[in-house]
Amino acid sequence: MATWIKEAISEEQRDEAQKQIRDTVEKLLEDIDKRGDTAVRELSKRFDNWSPDEFRLSEKEIQSCIDRLDAQTIGDIRFAQEQIRNFAQIQRDSMKDVEEETLPGVILGHRNIPTNRVGSYVPGGKFPMVASAHMSVVTAKVAGVKEIITCAPPYEGRPSDAIVAAQHLGGADDIFVIGGVQAVAAMALGTESIPAVDMLVGPGNAYVAEAKRQLYGRVGIDLFAGPTETLVIADETVDGEMCATDLLGQAEHGPTSPAVLLTNSMNLARQTLEEVKKQMKNLSTRDTAAPAWQNYGQIIVADSYDEMLEIANELAFEHVQVMTKKDDWFLENMINYGALFLGPRTNVSYGDKVIGTNHTLPTLKAARYTGGLWVGKFLKTCTYQKILNNEASVKVGEYCSRLCKLEGFAGHKEQADLRVRRYSGEAA
């Protein structure tokens, strides 16, 4: 039976907070749907104190942002995008169009068709999330998306030079400086100045995640990517310093970001708890990390590796860092997670920023039914069929007619019967 050395706030408290977010977002979406650009401008002024003449950046403004960055920063952005592009291309190459003759004269196939227009949201009001531009824009480009629109909030009162550079170098067609719910709503619903997209992608805070949830259906979405979650699975092969560092490295994302240690070592659990207290004192982002750890942090001590696995699959967290003597066993047996980080030599930060796998991942237990953003999310796998001769049409038609009668669908039956009548004589 597992023991909780540190617990998070109750599910009831979380649900109440989520209800307030849901109600707020619903009103904002309704306003933007009715008033378009006017509502977007008012909300941008209210939440970000940002109301430029144009939200869309001109080519000159984009180039000015790039020119303000030093060569090292541009090189780092290009390196990260190269890793993400390379892995996305490997994934794209694994997806094949197919066409087969499944019966004599019957051809079935599918094509992988890129989404036409995608809206990419890049969070950046509190921290300029440069990597999110790589993850969505570069991956969409590899998939063959025809048009990519991106939005990011202003950072410290102006466009973030690094985010704009990443959006542009990644291949964005239009860059807008708008944040929050107003950004994703504008892209999904369309306004006088922002064309409606077919699909929304990108992570965000709890309000952005809720907006995507409510907009789903009017547009496609990648997944529900809300506040960051991290689970560290560890045994005594690592120490409390490393566990605490990996927990706080993700807790700093936001005040509602869960960070959980799952271990079979009481000694490591207590050591990590003390290390978190020690490291928090010197962490420059403790204003964000401290409430996240206080309200959402947990330390769980399990009796065995099997129980650790069971708890981990039940949590279904976004990021799962595994540092044990059985890392490959966890890889083989874990079924619910956004991304795995195996062994102490890697960590979630590598995945967040540069290594090449995508960092837009499922949260709030969505890992039970979906993986993260990848090139395949931007592709529609669409089937087709054709019949090459009369004999094949008659054969399929006779089966179809009887099956339609079984279900009581007269119109469907006639579609089949017409082909049987028309082509059976010719087939003979």
Do 186 and 243 reside in the same domain of the chain? no
The CATH number of whichever domain residue 166 belongs to comes to 3.40.50.1980
Model confidence pLDDT, tens digit, residues 176-193: 999 999 999 999 999 999
Name the catalytic one among 168, 253, 319, 359. Answer: 319
Model confidence pLDDT, tens digit, residues 344-357: 999 999 999 999 99
Do 237 and 203 reside in the same domain of the chain? no
Do 42 and 69 reside in the same domain of the chain? yes
11: confidence class by pLDDT, cuts 50, 70, 90: confident
Structurally, the chain folds into a number of domains equal to 3
Per the domain annotation, does 125 fall within a domain?
yes
Do 74 and 215 reside in the same domain of the chain? yes
**Strands of 343-419, DSSP E:** 379-387
Q: What percent of the chain has pLDDT over 70?
A: 99
Model confidence pLDDT, tens digit, residues 254-276: 899 999 999 999 999 999 999 99
In 94-192, where does DSSP find H-type helix? 130-133, 139-143, 161-170, 180-189
- pLDDT value at 164 more than 80: yes
Model confidence pLDDT, tens digit, residues 390-407: 999 999 999 999 999 999
For residue 323, what are the contacts with CB-CB under 8 A and spacing of at least 6?
A: 232, 233, 234, 235, 237, 238, 242, 243, 343, 344
For the residues 69-75, what does the mean pLDDT come to? 98
Q: Nearest CA to 176 among 199, 204, 203, 148?
A: 148
For the residues 202-215, what does the mean pLDDT come to? 92
Per the domain annotation, does 98 fall within a domain?
no
In 94-217, where does DSSP find H-type helix? 130-133, 139-143, 161-170, 180-189, 206-215
Do 273 and 195 reside in the same domain of the chain? no
426: confidence class by pLDDT, cuts 50, 70, 90: low
Per the domain annotation, does 336 fall within a domain?
yes
Do 409 and 350 reside in the same domain of the chain? no
Per the domain annotation, does 108 fall within a domain?
no
Q: Please give the pLDDT value at position 211.
A: 96
Which of 222, 244, 264 marks a domain boundary?
222
Do 165 and 238 reside in the same domain of the chain? no
Which of 222, 240, 269 marks a domain boundary?
222
Name the catalytic one among 318, 359, 398, 414. Answer: 318
Question: Which one has a higher pLDDT value, 428 or 113?
Answer: 113
Name the helix (H) or strand (E) containing 114. strand 106-114
Do 308 and 190 reside in the same domain of the chain? no
380: confidence class by pLDDT, cuts 50, 70, 90: very high
Q: Please give the pLDDT value at position 427.
A: 52
Query: Do residues 212 and 224 make contact, with C-beta atoms less than 8 angstroms apart?
Result: yes
Do 74 and 211 reside in the same domain of the chain? yes
Q: For residue 257, what are the domain limits?
A: 227-372
- pLDDT value at 428 more than 60: no
Do 329 and 403 reside in the same domain of the chain? no
- pLDDT value at 285 more than 70: yes
Q: Please give the pLDDT value at position 109.
A: 98
- pLDDT value at 366 more than 70: yes
Does residue 319 have an active-site annotation? yes
Do 64 and 175 reside in the same domain of the chain? yes
- pLDDT value at 95 more than 90: yes
Q: Compute, in degrees rounded to 10, the torsion defined by CA atoms 58, 62, 63, 65.
A: 140
Per the domain annotation, does 106 fall within a domain?
no
177, exposed or middle or buried, with CB in 10 Å at 0-12, 13-18, 19+? buried
Tell me the whole-structure pTM to 2 decimals. 0.92
Q: Please give the pLDDT value at position 17.
A: 81
Does residue 318 have an active-site annotation? yes
For the residues 193-221, what does the mean pLDDT come to? 94
**Strands of 284-333, DSSP E:** 298-301, 319-323
Per the domain annotation, does 105 fall within a domain?
no
Q: Please give the pLDDT value at position 310.
A: 98
Per the domain annotation, does 43 fall within a domain?
yes
Which of 222, 247, 280 marks a domain boundary?
222
Supply the mean pLDDT for the chain.
Answer: 96
Q: Please give the pLDDT value at position 125.
A: 79
**What is the C-alpha to C-alpha distance for residues 189 and 177, in angstroms, rounded to an integer?**
17
Do 242 and 257 reside in the same domain of the chain? yes
- pLDDT value at 216 more than 60: yes
Angle at 403 between CA 401 and CA 404, to 5 degrees: 65
Q: Compute, in degrees rounded to 10, the torsion defined by CA atoms 77, 78, 84, 89.
A: 160
Per the domain annotation, does 6 fall within a domain?
no
